Amino acid sequence: MSLSIATDLLRACQKGDAKAQTAFYNHYKKRLLGICRRYARTSVDAEDIFQEAFIKVFLKMGEIKNPEAVYSWTKSIVIRTAIDHYRKNKSLSFANDQLDSLPELPEEADAFSVLDALEKEEVVHYINLLPDGYRMIVNMYLIDGFEHHEIADVLGISVGTSKSQLSRAKALLRKTFIEKGIKSYEKG
């Protein structure tokens, strides 16, 4: 979408134009619903998060002054809505749970480098296997580019907890890849 079309669409949405809002919604739905799927445990949760986020987007759309920032602004609302959803409904766990007894795992199957080589659907699948707290940290740090201090602030945890949860998520992913026989992955 060109900048002039994006600007016109944004301005029309800000004036409450229903057709423009539908066009805006349809334009961003696929990408933003994909973000919701990464954060959500189920597709139903993802749809709920997406709908709730878009209500917020349309209610707050008047705050946007720069049409160039509309996607990142909208994406931020979607991510924060997903986090809020789990904070309210799922009680994120950042405990030491099942990973305390994990043996040292070989570094040859580095979890994040394997994820880099997988197809998008496979990445979402493996991330969704993680416990909720780990999944939040992986999504925020690895995929959405948050720093540990930002994650700590948003989730109400310490920076150390964010770092340890990322490390534990990585270990759990590595263990999963070893169990599945995935030591390295090359696209064919």
* CA atoms within a 13 Å half-sphere pointing along the CA-CB vector of 53: 27
Dihedral over Cα of 158, 131, 51, 7: its sign: positive
CB 138 within 8 A of CB 125: no
CATH 1.10.10.10 fits 97-180, yes or no: yes
| Predicted model pTM | 0.73
Domain boundaries, the chain: 3-89, 97-180
> Among positive and negative, which fits the CA dihedral 128, 131, 136, 142?
negative
pLDDT given for residue 56 in this prediction: 95
Neighbours of 21 (CB within 10 A): 19
Write out the CATH class of domain 3-89. Answer: mainly alpha
Give the residue among 143, 146, 144 at the shortest CA–CA distance from 163: 146
CA distance 18 to 138: 36
Torsion angle, alpha carbons of 17, 23, 27, 30, to 10: 100
Cα distance between residue 88 and residue 108, in whole Å:
38
Taking only the tens of pLDDT, the chain with its 188 residues reads: 666 777 888 889 999 999 999 999 998 899 999 999 889 888 899 999 999 999 999 999 988 888 888 888 999 999 999 989 887 875 555 544 433 333 333 344 455 555 555 556 776 787 888 888 898 999 999 888 999 999 999 888 899 999 999 999 988 888 887 887 776 544 44
Cα–Cα nearest to 35, from 86, 99, 78: 78
